[in-house]
Structure 1
Amino acid sequence: MSYAVVRLPALPNLNGSLSSTTSGSNKGGGEDAANCVGMNPTVAAFKWRLLIAYDGTHYSGWQYQQSPPTIQCILEKALIHVTKLERKDLSLVGASRTDAGVHALGQVAHFVTPFNYDSLDSIHAALNGLLPADIRVREISPAVPEFHARFSTESKIYHYKIYNDTVMDPFLRHYAYHSAYKLNATAMREAAKHFIGKHNFSAFVNASHNDRVRDPVKNILSFDVNEMGPLLQLEVEGTGFLYRQVRNMVALLLQIGKEAIPPDIVPMILATQDRKELAKYALSAPPHGLCLVSIKYNEQHLRLPSDCPLTSFGRHHTVRKCKLPFY
């Protein structure tokens, strides 16, 4: 792993032991690590990758804001408590800025520290001990400087769940959209095929006041409609998505499933590149049915650096000796 050639003063590890860092050469991404974290490029930075799952029901999405709370805000507070670093030093970055109410099974983020860890199991346990029950860190692993949670992505997979029955399953009410209309899954499947490939998705993007101007051309790699009893699971994989693009595509498929409009309306709306055209037929699907399932990365950026602790998948608790008396 490449770091700037600087010896930092001894800093305490999470377990209380001292850890001083000595780095090698700065080639192959050390400058990128320094620049992306806003640190002095002569100071060593250790980068850590997080795999996170959360129930987004009670949060205003991923992106940082204190009130109402967001996933990033809650996670940063836990990281600040555990690492004793300031927010600006951690430079936590998430792969996807999920909206309010949207869930995640495979959100990815990275943060940096000026010190190394001997083991990641303790910080992993400490983070999950501080986080609320609806946010879990599934894995922590060391990352090479080239890795970036957002810019190293190759594709993302989202699921949108629709419960298609007259009576809603109460256990799925926070995780699936209820459609009492009988949906034609075959028509939805036919329509979804029109989204596959590289298209200008301007007609399927909502305006966002806090987003930069982004390239409206996105590549959809697959779009499947799977029937699992009364549950329809729409799975879409793409190299990137615009603001509310997935929910807007799902909303149109819902209207097609109701047989209100034909499947071949999809290429017609795409060709207009006009959000107002989509609005004639459908509004955005609600957020609670959407889940970020997984993110695929550049394999070179996922390699583990040398002289690093092992990936932490969490610790199993065991009872070594029964402490209850026998009767």
Structure 2
Amino acid sequence: MRCWAVGSPVLPPISLPLSPIIPSPNGASSSSSRGFPNAEDDASYIKEPSFPCFKWRLLIAYDGTRYAGWQYQRSPPTIQCLIEEALIGATKLERKDLHLVGASRTDKGVHAWGQVAHFVTPFNYDSLESVHAALNGLLPVDIRVREMSPAVPDFHARFSTLSKVYHYKIYSGTIMDPFQRCYTYHCVYKLNYAAMKEAANYFVGKHDFSAFTNAAHNDRVVNPVKVIFRFDVIEMGALVQLEVEGSGFLYRQVRNMVGLLVQIGKEALPPEVVPKILASRDRRELAKYASGVPPQGLCLVSINYKEDHLKLPSDCPGTSFGCPNNLGGRDIIR
């Protein structure tokens, strides 16, 4: 089950006196998260609120070109900052009361089709269409809430995940397609896709990915062992799309893995270099062979969740998909 879509700035409906959702303590705590630069209180976005409330899930798409990633900061603006501003306008609540949490902290310039977030309110809604429309009416055109739905107390955008799917696109034509420039990495070299596919298979399975993560000054203790369920290399004419699904990813892990695959595709390295670098568990070993690729080719496509965490709670409205017919087929923006 997923979340949001398109709409106009309409005030949310009056709340109904239904039974509130009382969040249960979440097993994962702020000790397992990265900090939030320029955010006044990281813990408020990780810990569940202690008061009775209603929880709401958002499915969000955005073009990350103009933004400094997901993670909250005001300048330069981030996706989380703008989502929170829209929520403040639509719900009339303060930022500290919303407890907005995103599933994945995408970097500057990275895009998303299936980002998921949740927030809370002290009141219920009888329908989500108007508040959904209000959010999209308050957001810039390159950020859209695709779906909005109520969530059960146990759902957590970050900690309920089973897997995440990222796509990375490479354009290998001699002359870059100008319409692809913001969404693909231009590689002027002819790539050996068979070698890239062979190398990608070495990533599949449970591994320590310490060699494929960049250090971040605001990182806390993170488990470097992740499971890669699949890593596909798909040819699409001048485009090649790398699709990777994993239990989770370390900071810059996907871009670093793709950077190595590009070097292998150029035939500068053999596919067998992958297990050697994995075994080293040392980022300096990867740096001998390859560097990460730029952010614009990367997109967070979807996130898979525990099935029981996606059930709709009772006494709450159904999922809103945007109701374009009620808006005259137009996405009304500011």
Q: What TM-score does the superposition give when structure 1 sets the normalisation length?
A: 0.89
Q: 1:38 to 1:174 in 2, by over 3 A?
A: same
Query: Contact (CA 8 Å) 1:119, 1:310: kept in 2 or not?
Result: yes
- Pair 1:105–1:15, CA change in 2 (3 A): closer
1:182 aligned residue (190, 194, 203):
190
Answer yes or no: is the 8 Å Cα contact 2:19–2:315 preserved in 1: no
In the alignment, residue 168 of structure 1 is paired with which amino acid? M
Q: CA deviation at 1:16?
A: 5.0
The aligned residue for residue 277 of structure 2 is 269
Structure-2 change in CA distance of 1:89 and 1:227 (3 Å): same
What is the aligned partner in structure 1 of residue 248 from structure 2?
240
CA contact (8 A) 2:209 2:224 kept: yes
The correspondence of residues 282-293 of structure 1 with structure 2, limited to 5 A, is 282-293=290-301
**1:259 maps to 2:289:** no
Residue 169, structure 1, aligned to residue 166, structure 2: no
Say whether 1:19 aligns with 2:16. yes
How far did residue 31 of structure 1 move?
Answer: 4.4
Please give the secondary structure, in 2, of the residue aligned with 1:271.
Answer: helix
Moved over 6 A (4+): none
Cα distance, 1:319 vs. partner?
9.3
Gaps of 5+ in 2: 1-9, 28-43, 329-334
Following superposition, the deviation at residue 36 of structure 1 comes to 5.8
Listed as ranges, the gaps of 5+ residues in structure 1 are: 1-12, 321-327
Q: Please give the alpha-carbon distance, in whole angstroms, between the structure 2 residues aligned to 1:209 and 1:109.
A: 24
How much has 1:144 moved relative to structure 2?
0.2
| Larger RCO (CA within 8 A; separation ≥ 6) | 2
1:73-105 CA-to-partner distances (Å, cap 9, x unmatched) read 010000001101111100000000000000000
Shift of 1:213: 1.4
Judge conservation of contact 1:32–1:145 (CA < 8 Å) in 2. no
Query: How many angstroms apart in 2 are the aligned matches of 1:319 and 1:64?
Result: 31
1:53 aligns with 2:61: yes
1:199-223 Cα distance to aligned partner (Å, 9 max, x none): 1111000001112110111100000
| Aligned-partner Cα distance in 2 for 1:74–1:310 | 25
Q: What is the match of residue 324 of structure 1?
A: none
Equivalent pair of 2:45/2:99 in contact (CA under 8 Å): no
1:95 alignment partner, one of 76, 98, 103 = 103
Are the aligned partners of 2:15 and 2:125 in contact in 1 as well (CA < 8 Å)?
no
User: Using the alignment, how far apart are the partners of 1:204 and 1:36 within structure 2?
Assistant: 26
2-structure distance, mates of 1:81, 1:144: 24
Identity %: 69
Per the normalisation by structure 2, the TM-score is 0.87
Secondary structure of the 2:106 match is coil
Three-state SS of the structure 2 residue aligned to 1:53 is: strand
**Amino acid across the alignment from 1:289:** G
Output the CA distance in 1 between the equivalents of 2:226 and 2:129: 38
Q: Distance in 2 between matches of 1:211 and 1:107?
A: 21
Q: Write the distance in 1 (CA, Å) between the matches of 2:26 and 2:257.
A: 36
The alignment of Structure 1 onto Structure 2 pairs a total of residues equal to 303
Distance in 2, Cα, partners of 1:271 & 1:18: 55
Q: CA deviation at 1:23?
A: 4.0
Cα-Cα RMSD: 2.0
- Partner amino acid for 2:155? F
Find the counterpart in structure 1 of residue 33 from structure 2.
none
Q: Distance in 2 between matches of 1:157 and 1:131?
A: 25
Shift of 1:32: 4.5
> What is the rounded CA distance, in whole Å, between the counterparts of 1:213 and 1:266 in structure 2?
25
Per-residue Cα deviation, 1:214-250 (whole angstroms, up to 9, x for no partner): 0111100000000001100000000010000000000
Q: Deviations over 1:169-214 (max 9, x none)?
A: 1100000000110000000000000000001111000001112110
Give the structure 1 partner of residue 315 of structure 2: 307
1:122-163: CA deviations, max 9, x gaps?
011110011000000000000000000000000000000000
The 3 A distance-change label for structure 1 pair 168 and 274 is same
